[in-house]
Copies of this chain bind each other. A is one copy, B any other.
Amino acid sequence: MSQQVTNVDKGTITSPKGFQAGATFVGMKSFAEDKYDLGLLYSANPCTAAGTFTLNEVRSFSVRVTEDNVRKGNMRAVVANSGVANAVVGDQGRKDALEVARLAAQQLGLQPDQLGVLSTGLIGVELPMAVIRAGIPKIKLTGAGGRQFARAIMTTDTAPKETAVAYQSGGRTVTIGGVAKGSGMIHPNMATMLAVLTTDALVDAAFLRGALKRSVDRSFNMISVDGDTSTNDTALLLANGAAGGPAVAAGSPEAALFQEGLDEVCMYLAKAIVRDGEGASKIFEVRIEGARNEAEARKAARTITDSNLVRTAVHGNDPNWGRIVAALGRSGAHVEESKLSLYINGVCIMEGGLPIPFFKDAVVQQMRQPEVSFRVSLGLGDGAATAWGCNLSEAYVTFNSAYTT
């Protein structure tokens, strides 16, 4: 982080000015101890908004309604539920997502198409509309309610994931906040992952879309928990302008600072999701350098973080570099074996395509850290990328073998 972007203490989505949130428990989430399952986020001012959505061909109607509403350009609030994904339930899913938007809009004095609708949980189960109807009016919005909202979107997460950063610009303080949830089905192309980002910056809508895409590509799209991608993934960003000042736009003085802040928030949340992956106890970073181009670097980094053999090696603190090289070789990135170098937590394991006789016990010790880093240099060009994954543990298998039964 540069010195210009700083962390906000206990930051969340209501840290930026002009946002309020709250949550309640209506009883649709049975598998988490935390007792919020329906949340609202509201901006006092009109917003510009941007979103990125799952690429899964099977999509929750909540995603479709939200995507439509982002496109309409008038979004100012979000209603989110956990426990039920509102996916693969036929046309009832469309009716329910629209009704949820309508109910929330009524409560907030907005139009239904000003709402984003987020759902996460079991597939193939209809939203329990009776309890949602009764629950929405019970939600109290407050300026500290981001914390409740963060808990209301948790499913198998063991902890809420939220943060905020701030920077100064033209004498004003601009804040960017975010909450997210994991934890299973997390994969590069936006997994069962929900993220809501807020800022009091005034941001040009086109720039906002580009900024979100760039940040998501560097963060949420570079993490892998189990290689799956869900029907519901959504990242939403609302900018309400409450901090005042001229609009942040492409080429404006504040553009780079805003992007940096947004990157920080997204990267923090993405890594928090990996760290809290189902059954995970450690995170590993894969840094690829010297690829022919960035696209190949991204492919290589993601293939390595996604490999079950690499992930079990990380679990066992095993510097089994052969598995890293094998994953690299099948990633689609061009590789010249004689130019390859590989470092584990900074220790050179392989250089010029040849294994270095390293002191294994020392590297095993390095790998016992809760954060492990692999750096691979391909020696071919300027392409670089970083991805994050987690160890594959017996606990992951146990947990996912007994999810609904």
A140 at the interface (CB under 8 A from B): no
Give the CA-CA distance A315 to B400 in the complex, in Å: 9
Q: Which residues of B contact A62 (CB under 8 A)?
A: none
Q: Main secondary structure on chain A at its contact with chain B? A: loop
| List of B residues within 8 angstroms of A402 by Cβ | 316, 318
A184-242 contacts to B, CB under 8 A, are 184-185, 187, 189, 226-231
Q: How far is the CB of A1 from chain B (nearest CB, A)?
A: 33
Residues A394 and B405 in contact, CB atoms below 8 Å apart? no
Contacts of A334 in B (CB 8 A): 57
List, in ascending order, chain B residues with CB within 8 A of A226's CB.
308-309
Interface residue? A45 (CB, 8 A)? no
**Which residue on chain B has the smallest CB distance to residue A300?**
B57
| Known contacts A88-B337, A333-B57; A228 and B323 CB within 8 A of each other | yes
Q: A58-B329, A58-B335 are in contact. Are A321 and B124 (CB under 8 A)?
A: yes
Cβ distance A216 to chain B, nearest Cβ, rounded Å: 17
Whether A229 touches B392, Cβ cut-off 8 Å, given contacts A318-B402, A321-B124, A353-B88, is no
Asked whether, in the complex, the Cβ of A330 is within 8 Å of the Cβ of B394, the reply is: no
A90 touches B315 (CB 8 A): no
The number of residues on chain A lying at the interface, defined by a beta carbon within 8 Å of a beta carbon of chain B, is: 67
- How does the 8 Å CB contact mask read for A297-326 relative to B, with 1 for contact and 0 for none? 000000000111100110111101111011
A400 and B313 contact, Cβ closer than 8 Å, known pairs A58-B335, A330-B57? yes
A338: chain B residues within 8 A (beta carbon) = 90
* Structural contact, B397 and A230, CB atoms closer than 8 A: no
Q: How far is the CA of A401 from the CA of B403 in the complex (A)?
A: 24
Please indicate the chain B residues that have their CB under 8 angstroms from the CB of A401 in the complex.
312-313, 315-316, 318
Q: Are A307 and B228 in contact (CB under 8 A)?
A: yes
CB <8 Å contact, A403 and B313 = yes
Nearest chain B CB to A5 CB, angstrom units: 34
A400 and B316 within 8 A (CB): yes
A55 vs chain B, min Cβ distance (A)? 7
Beyond A123-B326, A308-B392, 8 additional pairs, beta carbon < 8 A: A57-B333, A89-B354, A89-B355, A122-B322, A231-B326, A308-B396, A313-B403, A394-B394
A-B contact pairs, 14 of them (CB 8 A): A57-B334, A59-B329, A88-B355, A89-B354, A123-B322, A124-B321, A229-B330, A231-B325, A308-B308, A308-B400, A309-B400, A318-B404, A392-B397, A393-B397
| The 8 residue pairs across chains A and B that have the minimum distance between CB atoms | A316-B401, A123-B322, A58-B329, A312-B400, A56-B329, A57-B335, A394-B394, A229-B330
